[in-house]
Amino acid sequence: MRPLVAEIDLGALRHNYRLACECAPHSQSVAVIKADAYGHGAIECARALEGLAPAFAVASTEEALVLRHAGIQSPIVLLEGIFEVSELALVDEHRLWMAVHTDWQLDALLAFKPRQPIPVWLKVDSGMHRLGFSPPRAEQIWQTLSQAPQVTALHLMSHFATADAEDTDYLQYQMTMLQALAECLDAPMCLANSPATLAHPVAHGHWNRPGVMLYGSDPLEVANATSRQLAPVMTLRSEVIAIRELEAGEPVGYGGRWRAPGRAKVAVVAAGYGDGYDRHAIDGTPVLVNGQPARIAGKVSMDMLTVDVTHVPDTRIGSEVVLWGRAANGAVLPVDHVARYCDTISYTLLTGVLPRVPRRYHPCPPSSPTAM
């Protein structure tokens, strides 16, 4: 069978989740597993974290229902709330928690009669200017929601635009706004994404919302002592399926983008953009061949890519190629490094691995969920 697989290390996932908790000992951490757990498989990741994470977060009711149908009992937060009024019945039936970020969601909630009150995270726009109510409006709505029979466990929620950056001015600006609001409302808060969880204790609230760090990607512009301990969860692994010996000047692949600078050896690898490997990868993008550093040479094709292995000894047909993650010899190629060569971020590479690539889980996730 085709050798390309995405191996998912669920032990590393748990390790990274524990790191998120250790960074923020006074917060609870909701594990963000939207977008199929950033491409890692939401059901398997939820099962691996059940009993460790008190709640999960997803982007839609559809994503929450996938988890409920797999038997996941834990609270699940809808980070953007509902998209249609009719979803409120599902929120109620499946005991989901919901963000409320806009007027029609608020009106729909206040007109709804749930069987039990719904935990609500009221979203404030503190400067990201994407979702949420202005602080003065949030203050009014807070008063309404805190008296509403439909609502329980009301929290303030906000999101940072620059928590990953070394320059903390804008995060501090957002925090000033949020602290003023929290004080006047005596509101429990949920603010921190991965970079804020890792680097900004001032932003730690009753809840934090770490996402990408759980998968071992370091979101910080400048790594810190904790982010360096993150372990990769996904290893995208394939094999060499052919080897070419080239003379100086001979081109490789579509358009002949790369030419051998001298006598060269090029390995053809079973992985391409039809698997989600980024076609923007430039010549020089790192991979590991038999656990040794090597570089992409030539344009990525749909099912294959080519690697300069002139200086990698013992490269043969069948040699292990790691596109990101951990090689058999223990060498690690962080997905963040690969992303830089593709002019993107780890998030797009991880969520971009296509269904054609089989996921293989280690250790096997428990097949039946453990009840909380």
Q: How many residues bind ligand PLP, per CB under 6 A? A: 11
- Round to whole Å and give the CA distance between 267 and 269: 6
CB 104, min distance to ligand PLP, A: 19
Give the CB-nearest residue to ligand PLP.
211
Q: Number of helices and strands (H, E) in the chain?
A: 11, 19
Task: Kindly state whether residue 155 participates in binding ligand PLP, applying the rule CB under 6 A.
Answer: no
Among 13, 67, 79, 236, binds ligand PLP (CB under 6 A): 79
Chain centre distance of CA 309:
32
Task: Indicate the pairing of strand 320-326 with strand 118-123.
Answer: unpaired
The stretch near ligand PLP (CB under 6 A) out of 176-184, 204-212, 261-269, 358-366 is: 204-212
Is 173 an annotated catalytic residue?
A: no
Q: Which of 34, 38, 123, 347 is catalytic?
A: 34
Please, are residues 73 and 124 in contact by the beta-carbon 8 Å criterion? Answer: no
Q: Which of 38, 123, 215, 254 is catalytic?
A: 254
Buried b / exposed e over 99-122, threshold 16 CB at 10 Å, is: bbbeeebbebbeeeebeeebbbbb
Task: Kindly state whether residue 194 participates in binding ligand PLP, applying the rule CB under 6 A.
Answer: yes
Task: Kindly state whether residue 369 participates in binding ligand PLP, applying the rule CB under 6 A.
Answer: no
Per-residue DSSP letter, 209: -
Task: Kindly state whether residue 81 participates in binding ligand PLP, applying the rule CB under 6 A.
Answer: no
- Of 7 and 125, nearer to ligand PLP (C-beta) is 125
CB 32, min distance to ligand PLP, A: 4
Alpha helices in 241-363 (DSSP H): 335-341, 346-351
CB 268, min distance to ligand PLP, A: 34
Q: Find all residues with CB under 8 Å of 167, minimum gap 6, and list them.
A: none
* Bridge partners, 151 (sequence order): 118
Task: Kindly state whether residue 193 participates in binding ligand PLP, applying the rule CB under 6 A.
Answer: yes
- Of 28 and 301, nearer to ligand PLP (C-beta) is 28
Q: Find all residues with CB under 8 Å of 11, minimum gap 6, and list them.
A: 362, 363
CB 173, min distance to ligand PLP, A: 19
Q: How many residues does the chain have?
A: 372
- Of 131 and 243, nearer to ligand PLP (C-beta) is 131
Is 34 an annotated catalytic residue?
A: yes
**Where on the chain is the footprint of ligand PLP (CB under 6 A)?**
32, 34, 79, 159, 193-194, 209-212, 219
Residues that are catalytic: 34, 254
